[in-house]
A and B are shown apart, each in its own frame.
Chain A
Amino acid sequence: MKQYSDLEYLQLSKWKKFCYRILCFFRSIPTALKNFVFGIGRFFKNAALAVVREFKDIFFTFKDGDVHTKISYAVMGWGNLARGQILRGLLFLLFEAVFIFYMVVSGGYWLSMLPSLGKVGPGKIYDPIYDVYVYQYNDNSFKILLYGVLTIFFIIAFIYTWRLNVKQNKIAEDIIKSGKPLKSGRDDLRSLVDDKFHKTLLALPLTGILIFTVLPIVFMILVAFTNYDGSHDGFINGLFGWQGFENFRTLFSWKGANGHSYAATFGEILTWTLIWAVFATFTNYFLGMFVAMMINKKGVRVKKLWRTILVMTIAIPQFISLLYVSKMFAKNGIVNGVLLDLGWIKQAIDFWGSTANNGLLARVLVIVINIWIGIPYLMLIATGILMNIPADLYESAKIDGASGWKQYTKITLPYMLFITGPYLLTQFTSNMNNFNVIFLLTGGAPTNASASWASGNVGYTDLLITWLFKITTGEDAKYYLASVVGIMVFVVVALITLIVYNRLPSVKNEEDFQ
């Protein structure tokens, strides 16, 4: 492809400019990917160097340190206590005690079982006296995996704290050497509401995220490497164990009946998911902006009323409105009833059941209904932004004789796009994972006959996220497969995000905006 200089570019026609920009975008993808890969490489290199540095530091602190420092290597907080920093010392000591206690009481058990995920499975024996079968449940693979991971988290936290404890000794020694006083417990507390205030603020949110977001994600990634499913639940009906990359192989190479594999099903659903995300995002975006502009136009009356009516779809919980709308479009629902009565159609339309053209009707309909839900949000956002556009821009445009359309393409749209770039991106990714709309409206219907065997009865409107749900609640409850699919979904979404995110103008200039 020819690369244009700035001057040449300016001389191109509009259409050519557009094509050129698109080409540029695609051409930049390999570079972006390359940078990404190199970025990872750099990251690992730096990490390795940092580790070496840390070890050196630990070693020399010990070698050069005084006796308190040396004792601190075994008894955490000793140095702090000896030097009068009672609060810190006690916290360190307490942490060490709790850690040792935990590891002895249960952490050790979980850790030791982690490699095997359990040794003794369930069993049943006949009890002749009571004439019943009695069941015995032994190791619990699920708990072993869960608490094993938690224990590892905890060990990492301990190592980090221990390292901190060592570092503190060194710093304290340096400060004493320079003749300054050490910080007291009161100083520490004060700094928590002042220069270390961010730590106070972040402590709680990050703890929550660690336990309720990071831990589950780590766990679910690990599940992708086991055979955890409905017939190996780890406790009641059989242990599960490590499978290596088996499940990934299943997803990508299992040739099923009729030559239709998981890979093909995955591809099919992914394609629709992307189509859906594009349409759901952009139809809402432009139509929402359009509605906002209509309402905001000078001379339009009762603006508040229009806004209020639209906003009701936000306020009313989706499980009510969507379930109802879904029923309205049933073959014997109200919509068909009205259309038949009006004589506009001769036969009832099977909106959700028609499999013609890969369920085109249902697919279009979910996108249309999604507009019904999505416009109000965009309307609100666009209203706010449009009001912020300096009015003199339009004035001068008018003086130059620009038409309404021209004003829109030259002023409104660029302004909106610039400001809502990141919002569009998050909308796109959240539409890819838009569980509610699909689940409540169609539940995935109509059935995709050729893909249906690939676990969970895939339908034409199924997104990857609803497929995941179907896999976990389907007849075999293949959690491991859901997990593999989940990881693949993540990879796709993350790739899109990474590529787009880094080229958004408003992200690049985070500081400028102020």
Chain B
Amino acid sequence: MKKVLSILLVLAMLFSLAACAGGNGGGENPSGEAPSGETPTGEAQNGDSPLAGTYDIKVWVAEAITDLTQKQIEDFNNTNTDGIKFNATVQAVGEDIVATQLITDVEAAGDIFIFAQDQFARLIQAGALAQLGEGASQIVKDNNTPEAVAAVTLNDGLYGYPVTADNGYFMYYDKSVIPEEDVDSLEKLIEDCEAAGKYFSMELQTSAWYLASFFFATGCVSEWTIDDDGMATALNDTFDSPEGLIAAKGMKKLLDSPAHVSSSQASDFAAGSAVLVCGTWAYDDIKAILGDNLGATDLPSFEVDGEEYHLGSFSGFKLMGVKPQTDVTRQAALHKLAQYLTGEQCQLERFNERSWGPSNIVAQQDPAVAANAGQIAINLQAPYATPQGQISGAWWNIAKVIADEVKDAADEEGIQAALTNYSQKCNALIGVGGYVFVGAWNGWDNADMTHKLTEEDGVYTITVEVEESDYMGGRIVTATNWDTDHGAAQVTTGADLIDMEAAGGDNNIVFKEAGNYTVTWNADTNEITIVKN
């Protein structure tokens, strides 16, 4: 006599559920429809090229070039000899947030997108960059400087196409406030700003990209090795060194000045700044504000203990990535488009319309490019610039904190503490490689290097002293990371020494009794041997 409604209710739920789940078996094509090509004939020929067809694609570029990109794709449709036609939806997504947006759902991301170089590692990690084939790699290598090629290279493969080569920074200043002769000295610049009640804009507290400038000045480096999954595996970092300390002292001068503003926006000039450290992209906006008072030059030098250090900079690239596809013709066609969009002609068009400095070697020779004021300043700064290389995605957040800590520091000790803190975090990030046997014996501390396994020919060994406790368990994990774990399931020899029941369904290796054990893990066979000493 009741609950007819409950049934209806459940039915309603069911239908929505069936709608969601309908026919979702295992694998599926995450990208849109693509025409199925006939058996490929090798060389592409007009009309019967296996790539011929219409593809619906989504393209993510910065707002400034959406219209231009739409037009360039039209041009590609009209000129390519493969009969490829793209129905492109060009959407405005800033180069600086591509990775953040993309990481939430790679499937829904743009098929082709432009991103700033600092996001390379994160995009690799997200599986969002398709590797280039041999021909495509050769094209990139032939048309770009070695630095540009290095920017898209990871181990042996290439994963993107360089778009611009001017992703670096230099100094803009207001000539009406700053005398020409002061532009080479940080101290004088700060003085001038303070005297005039103006601000000195340099984005130190919120961006490691700008902050690194001081450290490069004193010759510090931060070089990372990234594996194919985008994870950092090794690090050569000298920020925490006597040179780093000098750099931090220099930075503190600026940080402590009431004139300093941590910002890198062109509009700062309208809000009272007289100096701004920024890149070529801001040129037009600043010109609109300052007019003839606009000055652009290389970064200044700072002085510590009587020595002068010229501020360094990152020189980076904007890159174009192609999203991995499951359909071979679609993938090939997209690569063709990416090659076209990053070719000489398109790069020059971008320069003419938006002053984006080209990465293409031929395009760089163009007289207009060489004469561009922003480009000139970039060139002035070039001797002091460091190629960006591949940097761990997490580094940016770790490094930018230095500024706040240095600002807070009361003395040299405090500054040193900031650097020590930084280097510890960096080392924790790469896990210093290797594996740690975590467990009751080290308080489950996966950064505990005293319980790191020693390696020889892919065989890892550790001797551990297990003390009597309620739960004498643990497992082998990647140092500072919980990602890979090797536990009870892998134990082949010595299984009688461990207690599967106490593990309670966990994969932990739980010893039956206290004592001294030698644990050996063979990475090739993934077998674990336990011997009681």
Contacts and interface: CB of A to CB of B under 8 A. Distances in A.
B328 A258 contact: no
B5 A199 contact: yes
Interface string B22-44: 11111110100000000010100
B273 interface: yes
Interface centre among A134, A147, A161, A207 (most CB of B within 10 A): A134
Given A139-B27, A231-B125, A203 B9 contact: yes
A250 B199 contact: no
Contacts of A337: 271-272
B10 A157 contact: yes
Given A95-B11, A254-B445, A131 B135 contact: yes
A258 B16 contact: no
Interface string B493-519: 000000000000111000000000000
Interface in B284-337: 324-329, 331-332, 335
A168 B444 CA distance: 56
A309 interface: no
Interface residues of B, number: 101
B106 interface: yes
Interface string A91-103: 1101100110010
B136 interface: yes
Contact of B401 (A188, A206, A346, A447): A447
Contacts of A120: 26-27
Interface stretch (A67-75, A122-130, A411-419): A122-130
Interface string A185-227: 0001001100010011001001100110000000000000001
B155 interface: no
Interface stretch (A44-52, A347-355, A362-370, A493-501): A347-355
Contact of B425 (A99, A257, A355): A257
Contacts of B122: 230, 475
A249 B505 CA distance: 16
Given A164-B6, A255-B447, A134 B397 contact: no
B262 A150 contact: no
Contacts of B398: 452-453
A473 B104 contact: yes
A183 B421 contact: no
A154 B4 CA distance: 17
Contacts of A333: 271
A207 B14 contact: no
B235 to A, nearest CB: 13
A203 B17 contact: no
B331 A475 contact: no
B447 A227 contact: no
Nearest to B13: A207
A502 interface: no
B499 to A, nearest CB: 17
A477 interface: yes
A124 B6 contact: no
B26 A353 contact: no
B371 interface: no
Nearest to A200: B5
Interface centre among B5, B128, B229, B448 (most CB of A within 10 A): B5
Contacts of B258: 346-348
B339 to A, nearest CB: 12
Nearest to B127: A237
Interface stretch (A6-14, A30-38, A104-112, A505-513): A104-112
A134 B23 CA distance: 24
Interface string A235-246: 111100001111
B370 interface: no
B400 interface: yes
Nearest to B444: A253
A332 B324 contact: no
Interface string B346-360: 000000000000000
Nearest to B503: A244
Contacts of A171: 1
Interface in B70-122: 100, 103-104, 106-107, 122
A466 interface: no
Contact of A254 (B10, B335, B446): B446
Contact of A207 (B12, B30, B50, B335): B12
A230 B125 CA distance: 7
B506 A188 contact: no
Contact of A106 (B21, B199, B397): B21
B522 interface: no
B30 A236 contact: yes
B424 interface: yes
A332 B10 contact: no
A122 B26 contact: no
Interface stretch (B380-388, B403-411, B452-460, B523-531): B403-411
Contacts of A191: 1-2
Contacts of B324: 124, 133, 135, 236
Interface residues of A, number: 101
B393 A130 contact: no
Nearest to A451: B401
B126 A131 contact: no
Contacts of A321: none
A183 B4 CA distance: 12
B4 to A, nearest CB: 5
B443 A253 contact: yes
A136 B326 contact: yes
A256 interface: yes
A258 B5 contact: no
B18 interface: yes
B462 interface: no
Nearest to A126: B133
A294 B24 CA distance: 63
Nearest to A77: B7
Nearest to B424: A257
B134 A87 contact: no
A156 to B, nearest CB: 10
Given A131-B135, A230-B125, A449 B18 contact: no
A427 interface: no
Contacts of A456: 397
B21 A331 contact: no
A339 B125 CA distance: 48
Contact of B421 (A110, A122, A246, A258): A258
Contacts of B230: 231
B253 to A, nearest CB: 16
Contacts of B405: 449
A137 interface: yes
Contact of A134 (B128, B136, B331, B445): B331
Nearest to B332: A130
Nearest to A158: B10
Contacts of B107: 235-236
A138 B273 CA distance: 54
Nearest to B37: A130
Contacts of A476: 393-394
Nearest to B270: A332
B199 A348 contact: yes
Given A130-B133, A227-B483, A477-B103, A154 B271 contact: no
A391 interface: no
A133 B16 CA distance: 37
Given A233-B127, A246-B482, A330-B263, 9 more contacts: A106-B21, A132-B130, A154-B17, A255-B448, A258-B424, A332-B199, A355-B408, A446-B205, A447-B401
Interface of A: 87-88, 91-92, 94-95, 98-99, 102, 105-107, 109-110, 120, 122, 124, 126-127, 129-140, 143, 147, 150, 153-154, 157-158, 160-161, 164, 168, 171, 183, 188, 191-192, 196, 199-200, 203, 206-207, 210-211, 227, 230-231, 233, 235-238, 243-246, 249-250, 253-258, 330-333, 337, 340, 346-348, 353, 355-356, 445-447, 449-450, 452-453, 456-457, 473-477
6 contacts: A105-B23, A135-B326, A137-B27, A203-B5, A231-B230, A257-B424
Pairs A-B, 6 closest by C-beta atoms: A237-B127, A131-B133, A347-B258, A257-B424, A135-B324, A130-B332
